[in-house]
């Protein structure tokens, strides 16, 4: 067997190519973790730094909320560049899903003021005709942004409405029961009828599925599996481009989708390990195509987001320790 990483009894282990098999608790793992941690602490946004410290160094949820508040507007929605690819200050549905996702991750419950204000914004901006939310507001065009972020684009319904409904399930005590029921029925039927999707929408649908009651989640499970097989890139030759990686879906060995991509996970882990930049980060595989100066700032912010995501996954698989 050649040197590399593979899954053995649910754990990723390293084969040294000489008959030895050992865990990643070695100098390489230490160096990867040390460089990534240094980048997050020294060059990432304070928000990603606070999230890292909360998740891996017993940091406080209060510090995360302190940083997250900088992105929340008076209307309760999130904006102000929380999604680094568009810089307008106005609130958006997309940025608000990110803000609420962070609040869920630190255990903020329905009594939290930031949560209450955000959910109020979500309910007030609900578009009954589209049974969802417009992804970005008109103000997106008033500030630097990636070339694909223009108002009124042809975005699929599920991005971000599917994820938003999942978040409303998480905070269901703040949501009218009848509305949540209607949204859930619509979302489930929408997913069941899908014949194609893009990888942003399918990520939102996966987050929806994770938040749904078991009965509804089971109704869409088969379709979600089909969409994932169609959207996740399993060809290693394409992983350096802009695509949906197996480890963006299978974020831990316990993922319900682990069996779908079990043959790709070891190589995808090797890919992550081999593409860490010299400064300890992982860089985005895209560029804006305009506003080059502002993109350099966004690129650094994205590097923090991606580095934190990859550190989470590598930890979950035991590569950087438990």
Q: Supply the pLDDT for residue 2.
A: 39
Q: Which residue shows structure tokens 């320790």? A: 321
> Does residue 321 belong to any structural domain of this protein?
no
Which residues 6+ apart lie within 8 Å of 288 measured at CB? 85, 144, 145, 146, 147, 294, 295, 298
Helix (H) or strand (E) holding 311: helix 292-316
**Taking the CB of residue 21, how many other CB atoms lie within 10 A of it?**
11
DSSP-assigned letter for residue 24: S
For 160-214, how does the pLDDT look when each residue is reduced to its tens digit (9 = 90+)? 999 999 999 999 999 999 999 999 999 999 999 999 999 999 999 999 999 999 9
> Does residue 6 belong to any structural domain of this protein?
no
> Does residue 287 belong to any structural domain of this protein?
yes
> Does residue 161 belong to any structural domain of this protein?
yes
Which residues 6+ apart lie within 8 Å of 2 measured at CB? 15, 17
Residue 153 CA: distances (Å) to CA of 136, 137, 195, 199: 9, 11, 20, 16
Range of the domain at 107: 22-316
> Does residue 16 belong to any structural domain of this protein?
no
Closest CA to 68 of 36, 93, 100: 100
Q: How many structural domains compose the chain? A: 1
> Does residue 261 belong to any structural domain of this protein?
yes
Per-10-residue mean pLDDT for the chain, 322 residues long? 44 46 63 96 98 98 98 98 98 98 98 98 97 97 96 91 98 98 98 95 98 98 97 97 97 96 95 96 97 98 98 93 64
> Does residue 27 belong to any structural domain of this protein?
yes
Which domain CATH number covers 262? 1.50.10
CA distance 164 to 318: 31
Closest CA to 67 of 86, 82, 87: 82
> Does residue 171 belong to any structural domain of this protein?
yes
Vertex 111 angle, CA 105 and 113, to 5°: 85
């Amino acid at each position: 067997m050649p040197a590399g990483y593979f899954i053995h009894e649910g754990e990723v282990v390293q084969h040294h190519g000489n008959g030895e098999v050992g865990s990643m608790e070695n100098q390489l793992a230490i160096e990867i973790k040390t460089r990534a941690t240094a980048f997050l602490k020294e060059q990432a946004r304070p928000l990603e730094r606070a999230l890292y410290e909360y998740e891996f160094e017993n940091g406080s949820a209060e510090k995360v909320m302190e940083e997250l508040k900088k992105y929340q507007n008076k209307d309760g929605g999130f904006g102000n560049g929380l999604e680094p690819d568009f810089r307008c200050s106005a609130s958006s549905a997309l940025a608000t899903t990110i803000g609420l996702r962070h609040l869920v991750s630190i255990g903020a419950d329905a009594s939290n003021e930031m949560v209450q204000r955000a959910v109020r914004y979500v309910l007030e901006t609900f578009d009954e005709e589209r049974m969802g939310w417009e992804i970005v507001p008109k103000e997106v065009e008033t500030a630097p942004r990636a070339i694909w972020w223009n108002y009124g684009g042809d975005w699929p319904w599920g991005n971000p409405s599917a994820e938003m409904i999942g978040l409303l399930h998480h905070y269901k005590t703040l949501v009218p029961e009848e509305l949540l029921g209607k949204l859930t029925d619509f979302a489930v039927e929408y997913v069941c009828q899908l014949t194609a999707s893009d990888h942003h929408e399918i990520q939102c649908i996966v987050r929806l599925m994770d938040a749904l009651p078991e009965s509804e989640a089971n109704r869409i499970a088969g379709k979600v599996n089909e969409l994932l097989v169609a959207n996740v890139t399993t060809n290693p030759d394409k992983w350096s481009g802009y695509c949906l990686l197996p480890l963006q879906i299978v974020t831990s060995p316990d993922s319900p989708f682990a069996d779908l991509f079990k043959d790709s996970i070891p190589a995808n882990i090797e890919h992550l390990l081999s593409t860490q930049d010299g400064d300890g980060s992982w860089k985005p595989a895209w560029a804006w195509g305009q506003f080059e100066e502002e993109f350099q700032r966004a690129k650094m912010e994205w590097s923090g987001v991606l580095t934190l995501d990859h550190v989470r996954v590598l930890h979950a698989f035991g590569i950087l320790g438990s």
